[in-house]
Amino acid sequence: MQVFKFGGASVKDAEAVKNVAEVLKQFSNKKLCIVISAMGKTTNALEKLANAFFYKTDDAEVLLEEVKNFHYTICNELFTDVHHSIYNDLENTFVELHWAIEDEPTHGFDFEYDQIVSVGEVLSTKIVSAYLNEIGIANKWIDARGLIQTDNTYREGKVDFELTEAMVKTQVELAFKTIDIVITQGFIGGTSENFTTTLGREGSDYTASIIAYCLNAENVTIWKDVPGVLNADPKFFKNTKKIGELTYQDAIELTYYGASVIHPKTIKPLQNKNIPLFVKSFLNPKEDGTVIKESDARLNIPSYIFKTNQVLISIQPKDFSFIAEDNLSDIFELFSKNGVKINLMQLSAISFSVSCDNDLQKIKNLVTELQHTFKVLYNDGVELMTVRYYTTETIEKLKKNKVVLLEQRSRFTVQRVMRVE
């Protein structure tokens, strides 16, 4: 049994959905559990809707209509029968979403976000499942909210692996007794109270990893619009190189530092059961791509990771005392409380500096609370550069026209927070 994951780009329109079908035809008579993300930029659109609903702006109805039109347009190109059951399925989903945004918010933003944004994966999997059945690729649709069991940490659900494994084995293995293909949603899970949670942005990779772990899959394949894992983001670098093979350790390091091709939590469950992970192109499915597995191989080329829209925060005691363990404990507690993730941290005698994603509301709340006890300085609009297996020559080239605000080096990795001059 294999697990496939198709991201938003692979189902962004009707032609892309048809291409998914062509990829699957190459794996006939194979047991496949297929994890699918929301279509195209649907998650972004639903995030705007969640904000409009929670903060009561007047464009919620317009935003919902745009999401509806986008999905109905895809359906109209995939199905010739206007009375196909998929239209009723979608309409029922949209009616529920419409009812939800007509009410007043009853919980915090993160809760409301998950209930709204998760709809994207439900819509995409219903459409893809219906289309595949229509063209003769038989499959069963399963709701991931009944598989991936989490706590109630909304937007970052923590998975209960023991309960999830029991649910996955019960439902997916049972389905495989009568059918070869199961389709489910990435990114989303459910709580014991039957509320929806999400696993963090781009969490569909993690879903595929969890299911593979639970079912002891032969392997996992993440289908992307790139030929594999590249040593840099082609949006920032020319002449990128594909990495043919990665160890689990190197993959974990790269995703931790922000490499966007794989979700950071994806690797560990696979490593624990020695399940290979392939990253391949859905545009050229017969090409080798990248394999991530247990290996003694080490990367022989530098890998570059850029994180833009960062904020550099420097925290100092107001009385000019040292930054000690009790200070750090208080600081970390506030970061955790406000849901701010640290991408880089550096400690000196009287200062603690961190680089974080610039989530405006979270950073504002964090800084306000820190200022009760500490002196806080920060620079926004900076970028974080990480180079794994660096050379002096490679990192000096990247400093051109930039001011280095903070640097940290280890044996294999250098990180710099920089601002454009």
How far does CA 19 lie from the centroid of its chain? 23
Give the pLDDT confidence score for residue 59 in this predicted structure: 92
> Which pTM was predicted?
0.88
Domains 2-217 and 303-420 share a fold: no
Average pLDDT, 10 consecutive residues per value, the chain (421 residues): 97 98 96 98 97 93 97 98 96 96 91 97 98 98 98 96 97 97 98 96 92 98 93 85 91 82 87 97 94 86 90 90 83 93 91 93 94 93 92 82 92 91 76
Give the pLDDT confidence score for residue 49 in this predicted structure: 97
Contact yes or no for 257/388 (Cβ under 8 A)? yes
3-state secondary structure of 144: helix
| Cα 119 from Cα 93, distance rounded (Å) | 8
Give the pLDDT confidence score for residue 401 in this predicted structure: 83
Please identify which residue in the block is written with the tokens 């190109």. 77
Instruction: List the domain boundaries for the chain.
Output: 2-217, 303-420
Give the pLDDT confidence score for residue 78 in this predicted structure: 98
Beta bridge partners of 198: 188
Which amino acid belongs to residue 102? E
Burial class (CB in 10 A: 0-12, 13-18, 19+), 321: exposed
Query: What dotted CATH number matches 2-217?
Result: 3.40.1160.10
Give the pLDDT confidence score for residue 204 in this predicted structure: 95
- Per CATH, the homologous superfamily of domain 303-420 is VC0802-like (3.30.2130.10)
